[in-house]
Amino acid sequence: MRALSLSLRPASPEDAPVLHGLFLRSPGYFALIGMEPPTLEDVLQDLRTLPQDPRRRAFLLLLEEEAVGYLDYKLHYPEARDATLSLLLIREDRQGQGLGKRALRHLLGHLAGVERLYAVVYGHNPRAKTFFRSQGFRHVKDGGPALSWYVREL
Ligand code: ACO
């Protein structure tokens, strides 16, 4: 069977309803980090602020035409040749099907010149930690009780 094609599309304010829908369909993640899913207005505001941070990149992850995930990272952070992933989210009903792995592979394709990719895992999230370890990341440090930093050399 042919694998459906996965692509990354830069997220813009027009994508707010789609991204909000993605978050609402992923309640397990927000329960895990002890937060309410953002409102549509929150999502819109966040997407509107993207141009104010030229290092930040946010993408919708599309499987054919369907939004199945979201990726948010920062280039040149913490150091010039680093990038830091703040959120990779696969829609809850599509988790565990290899999409996280494929999304990460796509992301690596966007990171020419980057030598280290960090992943910051928020909250008690053993699944995310297992995921990043399985993808070649190692634990670097805990930044307070709720933040764990992982890194992969590229
Ligand atoms: N329990 C433990 N390990 C798992 C699980 C699970 N339920 N699911 C996947 N993994 C691990 C396995 O090692 C797996 O490798 P294998 O298939 O060779 O056994 C590997 O992760 C890759 O599995 P995928 O199917 O590609 O993972 P998925 O598509 O579910 O993506 C992700 C993983 C991104 C953590 C997803 O589950 C998700 O979106 N979770 C909710 C949001 C979240 O917590 N994101 C991470 C926040 S931290 C950050 O982004 C820096």
24 inside domain: yes
Q: Are 121 and 132 a contacting pair, CB within 8 Å?
A: yes
Q: Are 16 and 40 a contacting pair, CB within 8 Å?
A: yes
Mutate to test the pocket of ligand 1, among 102, 127, 152 (most ligand atoms within 8 A of CB): 127
The set of protein residues with a Cβ atom below 6 angstroms from ligand 1 is 29, 85-90, 95-101, 119-121, 125, 127-128, 130-131, 134
Buried b (16+ CB within 10 A) or exposed e, 68-103: bbbbbbbbeeeeeebbbbbbbbbbeebbeeebbebb
pLDDT in tens, 115-134: 999 999 998 899 999 999 99
Q: Rounded CA gap, 118 and 120, in Å?
A: 7
pLDDT in tens, 85-104: 999 999 999 999 999 999 99
1 inside domain: no
- Count: domains in the chain: 1
Residue 23 is part of a domain; what is its CATH number? Answer: 3.40.630.30
Residue 99 phi, psi dihedral angles, 5° rounding? -70, -35
142 inside domain: yes
Which residue, by CA, sits nearest to atom 31 of ligand 1? Answer: 100
Q: How confident is the model at residue 145 (pLDDT cuts 50, 70, 90)?
A: confident
Q: What is the pLDDT of residue 1?
A: 61
62 inside domain: yes
105 inside domain: yes
Q: What is the pLDDT of residue 80?
A: 96
Six-digit token pair at 90?
Answer: 């696969």
Q: How confident is the model at residue 3 (pLDDT cuts 50, 70, 90)?
A: confident
68 inside domain: yes
Residue 122 domain boundaries: 6-153
For the chain, percent of residues with pLDDT exceeding 90: 92
